């Protein structure tokens, strides 16, 4: 055991000063991702790898979204050929089950993706939620964020703002950013009706197929990825197959890398 003295106040100051610096450094970013599920994390990984300044806001304590629980809490996920390639690129061990069906341990999948994404430079702010968007002259300029504990405790505490060139809605089933856009700005989204259509019942094949096409810009500077993309465009959910989420995250990253790098 070291006999060096430990000062409690130094420990507190270390946390407060380094966190504050981190937040101040990321008040202005190229891309702000809302939601730390597989789609948001994979988008963050590929963006950060290309040197894009990218942050991710997750309202929960842990990032990983719905991936930890596999299917019905059996902690294995399924991916198809295209999803397998992405897992392998990130370094997640994959096992073949049958032709075009592969499994991965969901704990290994989430922890490896989180590790690779944050080491590549993705800056994650957990326990923070996006409660609004910064919209000026009908253009989205960033996010309005607050501590999750504020809404949980129903406190009246004002949020702060994050400026970003692009926003990714990776909030999963609730597609919260797209709903905010619709409710707050009364704007027409790039869907047939101009509104969030809402996800359809389970159909893995169509859900996975549509997700590729649904991953796109829905309003200038705002992109949807992952389950949020299918919810916005009215495509089916797909159950515990995660290839679509990974492909969607990589696809949206590619679209933004073209614009930024
Ligand atoms: C901050 C927020 C906010 C907010 C939400 O649900 P996710 O895992 O989303 P995806 O799209 O990466 O993956 C979907 C997948 O997990 C899934 O649900 C599948 C495949 N379902 C198929 C089926 O049939 O059911 O992650 C979204 C994350 C969550 O961690 C939320 O807490 C977070 O976004 N989030 N964070 N501010 N306003 N809204």
pLDDT digits (tens, 9 = 90+) for 196-238: 999 999 999 999 999 999 999 999 999 999 999 999 999 999 9
Cα gap 116→30, rounded to integer Å: 20
Q: Residue 192's pLDDT is what?
A: 80
* Spatial distance between the Cα atoms of 86 and 79, rounded to a whole number of angstroms: 10
> Percentage helix, strand, coil, to 5, in the chain?
40, 25, 30
pLDDT for 34 equals 99
Has residue 198 been placed in a domain?
A: yes
How many CB atoms lie under 10 A from the CB of residue 258? 8
Q: How confident is the model at residue 189 (pLDDT cuts 50, 70, 90)?
A: confident
| Mean pLDDT rounded to a whole number for the chain | 96
Looking at residue 176, its pLDDT comes to 97
CA of 95 to the centre of ligand 1 (A): 25
Domain-located, residue 1? no
Domain contains 243: yes
Q: What are phi and psi of 32, to 5 degrees?
A: -115, 125
Considering only CA atoms, which residue is closest to atom 38 of ligand 1? 130
pLDDT tens track for 61-88: 999 999 999 999 999 999 999 999 999 9
How many angstroms separate the Cα of 10 from the Cα of each of 14, 22, 249? Answer: 6, 18, 40
Percent of the chain with pLDDT over 70: 99
The rounded Å distance from CA 38 to ligand 1 centre is 8
Residue 20 maps to a domain: no
Q: Is the pLDDT of residue 2 over 90?
A: no
Q: Which of 185, 77, 98, 102 is nearest to 139 (CA)?
A: 185
Residues with CB under 6 A from ligand 1: 34-40, 57-60, 65-67, 129-130, 170-174, 176, 202, 226-228, 237-239, 242, 245
pLDDT band at 129 (very low <50, low <70, confident <90, very high): very high
What's 23's DSSP letter? Answer: H
Query: Closest ligand 1 atom, CA of 170?
Result: 11
Look at residue 193 in the predicted model and tell me its pLDDT: 82
Residue 235: give its domain's CATH number.
3.50.50.60
Tens digits of per-residue pLDDT, 17-31? 999 999 999 999 999
CA–centroid distance, residue 178 to ligand 1 (Å)? 13
Specify the 3-state DSSP secondary structure of 207: helix
In a domain, 176, yes or no: yes
Confirm whether 202 is domain-assigned: yes
pLDDT at residue 194 greater than cutoff 90: no
> Under a CB-based contact definition with an 8 Å cutoff, are residues 226 and 168 in contact?
no
- Per the CB < 8 A criterion, the answer to whether 53 and 29 are in contact is yes
* Dist CA 243 CA 85 (whole Å): 9
Residue 246 predicted with pLDDT over 70: yes
Q: What does the pLDDT read at residue 221?
A: 95
Mean pLDDT over 109-136 rounds to 97
pLDDT at 71: 96
What does the angle CA 157 – CA 160 – CA 162 come to, to the nearest 5 degrees?
A: 155
With 70 as the cut, is the pLDDT of residue 1 above it? no
pLDDT greater than 90 at residue 117: yes
- What was the pLDDT predicted at 39? 98
Q: Which domain holds residue 86?
A: 30-260
**To test ligand 1's pocket by mutation, which of 33, 44, 66, 152 has the most ligand atoms within 8 angstroms of CB?**
66
Residue % of the chain over a pLDDT of 90: 92
Query: What is each CA distance from 14 to 11, 124, 253, in whole angstroms?
Result: 5, 18, 33
170 CA distance to ligand 1 middle (Å): 7
Domain total in the chain: 1
How many other β-carbons are positioned within 10 Å of the β-carbon of residue 169? 32
Average pLDDT over residues 172-196: 87
Atom of ligand 1 nearest to the CA of 229: 11
CA-closest residue to ligand 1 atom 28 = 35
Q: Is residue 117 part of a domain?
A: yes
Could you tell me if residue 226 is inside a domain? yes
pTM to 2 decimal places: 0.97
């Amino acid at each position: 055991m070291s006999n060096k003295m430990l000062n409690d106040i130094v420990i507190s100051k270390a946390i407060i000063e380094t966190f504050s610096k981190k937040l101040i450094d990321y008040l202005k970013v190229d891309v702000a991702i809302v939601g730390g599920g597989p789609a948001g994390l994979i988008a963050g990984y590929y963006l950060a790898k290309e040197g894009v300044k990218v942050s991710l806001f997750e309202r929960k304590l842990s990032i990983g979204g719905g991936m930890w629980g596999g299917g019905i809490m059996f902690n294995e996920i399924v991916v198809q050929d295209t999803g397998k390639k992405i897992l392998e690129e990130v370094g997640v061990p994959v096992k073949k089950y049958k032709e075009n069906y592969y499994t991965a341990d969901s704990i290994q999948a989430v922890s490896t993706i989180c590790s690779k994404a944050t080491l590549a430079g993705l800056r994650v702010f957990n326990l923070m939620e996006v409660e609004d968007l910064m919209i000026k002259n009908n253009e989205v300029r960033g996010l309005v964020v607050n501590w999750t504990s504020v809404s949980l405790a129903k406190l009246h505490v004002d949020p702060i703002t994050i400026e970003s060139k692009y926003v990714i809605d990776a909030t999963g089933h609730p597609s919260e950013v797209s709903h905010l856009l619709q409710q707050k700005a009364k704007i027409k989204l790039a869907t047939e009706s101009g509104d969030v259509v809402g996800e359809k019942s389970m159909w893995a094949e169509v859900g996975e197929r549509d997700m590729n096409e649904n991953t796109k810009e829905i309003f200038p500077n705002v992109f949807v990825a992952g389950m949020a993309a299918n919810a916005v465009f009215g495509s089916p959910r797909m159950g515990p197959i995660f290839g679509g989420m990974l492909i969607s995250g990589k696809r949206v990253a590619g679209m933004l890398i073209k614009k930024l790098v």
